[in-house]
Amino acid sequence: MAWALFCKKAFPREEGSVCPPALEHWARRIVDKCEGLPLAIVAIGILLSYRDRAESTWKSMHDGLTWSTTEHTGLHRVSRILSLSIRHLPYHLRNCLLYCSLFPDGYLIGRNRLIRLWVAEGFVKERRERSMEEVAEDYLNQLVGRCLLQVTHRNESGRVRFCRVHDLIRELIVARSREEHFAEAYDGEPEDLSDRIRRLSLLQGAGADERLSEKMPLLRSFLAFSSSSTSLLSKCRLIRVLDLYTAPLESLPDEIGHLFDLRYLSIRRTNVRHLPKTLGSLQKLETLDAVYTHIEELPSGVTRLESLRHLMVKKFHRQTSRYTVLSGGVVVPGGMDKLRGLQTMKAVVVGDETTVRHLRRLTQMKSLDIRGVRTIHSKLLSASISKMDRLVRLVVMARHKDDTLLLGNLTPPPRLRKLSLYGNLEKGMTSRWPDSLRALTHLVLKMSRLKADSLSSLMELPNLVSLFLMQAYDGTELCFRAGRLRKLKSLWLYDMIHLSRMEVEENALESLRELRLVRCGKLKTIPVGIEYLGRLQKLELESMPIELVEKLQGGGQTEDDRMRLQHIPVIENWFQRDGCWMEERLS
């Protein structure tokens, strides 16, 4: 068993994962050193899969696996092997992994946040015809493949969404980062902070402000998870990364404009209401993340940030359900077309036709979220979007309920995979989608008020894996026909106020894993044909009629219902009581 596991990890590219005869002697002795511990076997196997096949290399690896008399436990031996894995990492991967020591124990790290931090730090090597972010995602996948980062969530396409550092690995990289003055995660323990620190995170704010007043001339990264202190801004002019995500912060000082090396600035989920006018001095800034703040308008200086690649601004309004947040766009100044390197821009309000027309100059755009679109903007908007050949994600929100998104003549960019439209849609618009949006994998429609014929066109999209409909359909019945949406994995139906019957035909939604029904007040019966959803893993209700909830309790009220529902591992009902969300397990 141990030998088979080792070979699977050490020789993944060999047919049958067979160990070459020339290496078998040392390979078996290495496996013996692991004494049957699966984690040790996996770690050493993965490490050796990246080493050359010279017998001397494998002998050297075996000789390095020596245990002292104090390291007799399995945990010590696993730790030694993991330490070897880290030591033998290529330099760029090693830096990326050590950087993760800045995050708290068990912290879920978002993919985009992590790779943008790595890019800002200069850890990512440029490759021809690939963006820095694409290369950084390769690094992330390599660390996952080496079992040095754990994936906690993947999206429907299989990409990493969130990851974390295993406790044992975190212990190793925290110690190594501190030893090398690479990074320090300050947790409130009474120990001195070295003036040679290059990267600092505050895991607890207690007592930290006094220490931050000390001079730290080499500081390049500052991540604050619980502190509102910005006292270091006047002392640490070499900072490249300032991450104040969720910090109890209401404003940024003007001194931020003196951080001329700043590449990354995040004030996401803070109470900041204004950005200082000095922001325009940050000529090297690549990422500005102000999502879910109280900012309503960006200063004019933002148009001078010619290195900016990711501009993310959203005004927080309120949480409308457990999964949805009501947010607004932010007004941007004229001249945003000067920022030719922009790859991400969300969620900005288009104030006039000039702003819409100038969007066509942002040809590097990959993710675009625009709000406040009027009916009269539609033709210009379609023309501008058609120029964005690299666009992968598009969000368009109408300004008023009377505005219609006339995007029927849009020639979708060839790489477009994710589309979200908020507002009335042009009549007959969806009938063109099966031909023009064949590559689409994610679709969100809100307040579209579609009729049955328009909805039928959506079901012909061949590669859709996620479908979110909110106030998007006015009909009373919804039927998923045989052979339609065969790749769909996630289906969310929100606020379908007229929907009273849902049906799934056999051989429809064959890949569906998750079905979520929210505030569909007239849907009081179990979907007809739910027994055909053989791969369904989770049925989730939120604020649904009590009649439907009762029919699902205990896995079904009647014998017939229980037979139809028995294949679904998880059936949950969520409801509010005294302002708090409560979960009720129905199966």
| pLDDT tens-digit series, residues 499-551 | 999 999 999 999 999 999 999 999 999 999 999 999 999 999 999 999 999 99
Q: Are 184 and 197 in contact (CB under 8 A)?
A: yes
Coil, helix or strand at residue 104: coil
Q: Which residues pair with 199 in a beta bridge?
A: 221
Average confidence score pLDDT of the chain: 86
Tell the residue number behind the tokens 């290399």, with chain if given: 57
pLDDT class of 191 with cuts at 50, 70, 90: low
Average pLDDT over residues 185-207: 74
Task: At 369, give phi and psi (nearest 5°).
Answer: -130, 110
Average pLDDT over residues 553-561: 80
Burial of 30: CB neighbours in 10 Å, binned 0-12, 13-18, 19+: buried
> Distance between CA 325 and CA 314 in Å, rounded?
11
pLDDT at 336 over 60: yes
User: Looking at residue 316, what is its pLDDT?
Assistant: 74
Q: What is the pLDDT of residues 237-255, one digit of tens each?
A: 889 999 999 888 888 888 8
The two tokens of residue 188 are: 């409130």
pLDDT at 353 over 90: no
Higher pLDDT, 566 or 15: 566
Q: What CATH number is given for 2-87 in this structure? A: 1.10.8
Could you tell me which of 316, 334, 312 has the C-alpha nearest to residue 324?
Answer: 316
User: Looking at residue 264, what is its pLDDT?
Assistant: 97
Average pLDDT over residues 155-159: 84
Residues 6+ apart with CB under 8 A from 422: 395, 396, 397, 398, 446, 447
Could you tell me which of 506, 455, 448 has the C-alpha nearest to residue 477?
Answer: 455
Average pLDDT over residues 200-212: 65
Give the fold, CATH level 3, of 91-170. Arc Repressor Mutant, subunit A (1.10.10)
Sheet of 150-154: strands edge to edge?
109-110, 160-164, 150-154
Distances in Å between the Cα of 318 and the Cα atoms of 322, 423, 454, 528 are: 11, 20, 31, 35
Q: What is the pLDDT of residues 101-136, one digit of tens each?
A: 999 998 999 999 999 999 999 999 888 888 899 999
Give the Cβ contact number of residue 63 at 10 Å: 10
Q: What is the pLDDT of residues 77-108, one digit of tens each?
A: 777 778 878 888 899 999 999 999 999 998 99
pLDDT class of 206 with cuts at 50, 70, 90: very low
Burial 455-471 (b: 16+ CB within 10 A, else e): bebbbbbeebbbbbbbb
pLDDT class of 570 with cuts at 50, 70, 90: very high
Out of 34-48, 312-326, 433-447, give the one with best mean pLDDT: 433-447
> Distance between CA 227 and CA 205 in Å, rounded?
5
Q: What is the DSSP pairing of strand 325-328 with strand 330-331?
A: unpaired
Q: What is the pLDDT of residues 438-490, one digit of tens each?
A: 889 999 999 988 887 778 888 899 999 999 999 998 889 999 999 999 999 99
Q: Determine what percent of the chain is predicted with pLDDT higher than 70.
A: 92
Q: Are 397 and 373 in contact (CB under 8 A)?
A: yes
Give the Cβ contact number of residue 57 at 10 Å: 14
Q: What is the pLDDT of residues 447-460, one digit of tens each?
A: 988 887 778 888 89
pLDDT class of 59 with cuts at 50, 70, 90: confident
pLDDT at 563 over 50: yes
User: Looking at residue 242, what is its pLDDT?
Assistant: 94
Could you tell me which of 558, 553, 557, 559 has the C-alpha nearest to residue 572?
Answer: 553
Helix, strand counts (H, E) of the chain = 16, 27
pLDDT at 4 over 70: yes
